[in-house]
Amino acid sequence: MKLAVVILAAGQGKRMKSDLPKVLQPLAGVPLLGHVVSRARTLNPSSMHVVYGHGGDAVRTALAKEDPPKADLKWALQAEQLGTGHAVMQAMPNVADDELVLVLYGDVPLIRAETLRQLIDAAGAKAMSLLTVMLENPTGYGRIVRKRGAIQKIVEQKDASPAQLRIREGNSGIMAVPAKLLRRWLGRLRNANAQGEYYLTDVIAMAVKDKVKVTPLIAPTLAEVLGVNDKAQLAELEAMHRAERARELMVAGATLADPARIDVRGEVSLGRDVFIDANVLLEGKVTLGDRVRVGPNTVLRDVSIGADTVIHPNSVLEQSELGAGCVIGPYARVRPGSKLGQNVHVGNFVELKKTVIADGSKANHLTYLGDAIIGKGVNIGAGTITCNYDGVNKSTTTIEDGAFIGSGNMLVAPVRVGKNATTGAGSTITREAPDGQLTISRARQISLEGWKRPEKKPK
């Protein structure tokens, strides 16, 4: 059967105490709903429907900002919050009868694709499946009522008897149901319950009555079915997510100095024998080659780092590419658009922006290189700045192979320093420095006899 995914994302989330809709609260830098949508896409559904309500415009706008943008979502408005059954009703006009409907929740972000595939496989044209969870404390969950092992119905917390409240198997709300049957059952829903809502869970009893097979699947982990109702629960899920991502890195072969102090917010590709120290943030698409070492308190965002490169502590690298054998930091910043060759050194308090540095070149201390093209074997002295911005335009500084830039240089772009050229310390270079020559640009040094430093008047 074709698969239709329906994601319920209309809740207000009052307990969040936030102007941001609940499904847009961030987990690992991504809205809760974004995690669910991404996971659903891995199932290759024929259609995806998001039922939205509170903060609807903000929800739609946030999902429209995906990079790259995607147009596979169909939106259904739930203007009144009348329960989960009512929410699914809003999406059904755009769901075909020959589809299998997978119901997900926009505030349950850690559900795994493997679990969902098992749930889908357990359903069919004349059978449905339901994801349940075993809980030490099931308070707040609908209880799974079984008879001789078979599911009979789901009873919500507020409608449960004392005996039913002792049941530890809870309802996750996630289910796979053939659309034709679901449409029929939704039409029978009534709101005669403590909440005055149309419960989606009531379709279970209807399926049993109609002799439709209901296959339960117990979730492998609690984290997969946990929802978010307040900031404390959001923090708990964040910790679970961090732990799972850290485990993935270690299974892939990385050595983590402290698995509890790493934050992975994207897609990471690893070579062999990678070492990552404490308090490292990996965001976006990050590629780490063989034997890369990442020092503590480092941020790597959308970067590719070649084999045997060492990132010293407290460095920030983003949207850049580094070759093999580089040495970066400590306290270095490599900004977007930079590309480093092999064995490049970018030292402490050095900042790069949209700069290309060829093999073997070094900028070891207290330097800003922006909009620069730097050749092979170049040495950049401490305190050097490429003056690339005149207030309106950005201009390029070109430094050819083998050049030696003296300390404290101001290179006023656009300017070229020639091959094997040398510039004297303290120079301001505004015109081309010729190949192989020493270029010096300094004011004449003088000493004034009889000059006295100003003194403060006694109080």
**Chain length of the chain:** 459
Neighbouring CB atoms inside 10 A of 255's CB total 12
Strands 169-178 and 255-256: unpaired
Cis preceding linkage at 68, omega within 30: yes
CA-CA distance, 361 to 342, in Å (whole number)? 9
pLDDT, position 69: 62
**Comma-separated ranges of CATH 3.90.550.10 domains in the chain:** 2-225
pLDDT, position 182: 97
pLDDT, position 12: 79
CB-CB contact of 430 with 447 (8 Å): no
CB-CB contact of 116 with 102 (8 Å): yes
Neighbouring CB atoms inside 10 A of 438's CB total 13
Does the predicted TM-score (pTM) go above 0.75?
A: yes
Q: Is there a catalytic annotation at residue 365?
A: yes
pLDDT, position 63: 84
CB-CB contact of 27 with 238 (8 Å): yes
- CATH 3.40.1010.10 for domain 2-225: no
pLDDT, position 180: 96
- On the CB side of 323, CA atoms within 13 Å amount to 13
What radius of gyration, in Å, describes the C-alpha atoms of the chain? 31
CB-CB contact of 295 with 278 (8 Å): no
**Comma-separated ranges of CATH 2.160.10.10 domains in the chain:** 231-439
When the candidates are 2.160.10.10, 2.10.25.10, 3.30.70.1060, 3.30.70.20, the CATH number that belongs to 231-439 is: 2.160.10.10
Close Cβ partners of 409 (under 8 Å, ≥ 6 residues apart): 381, 383, 384, 385, 423, 425, 426, 427, 428, 429
Enumerate residue ranges in the chain where pLDDT < 50. none
Catalytic residue among 49, 312, 345, 365: 365
pLDDT, position 380: 98
pLDDT, position 123: 96
Neighbouring CB atoms inside 10 A of 16's CB total 20
pLDDT, position 70: 73
pLDDT, position 186: 97
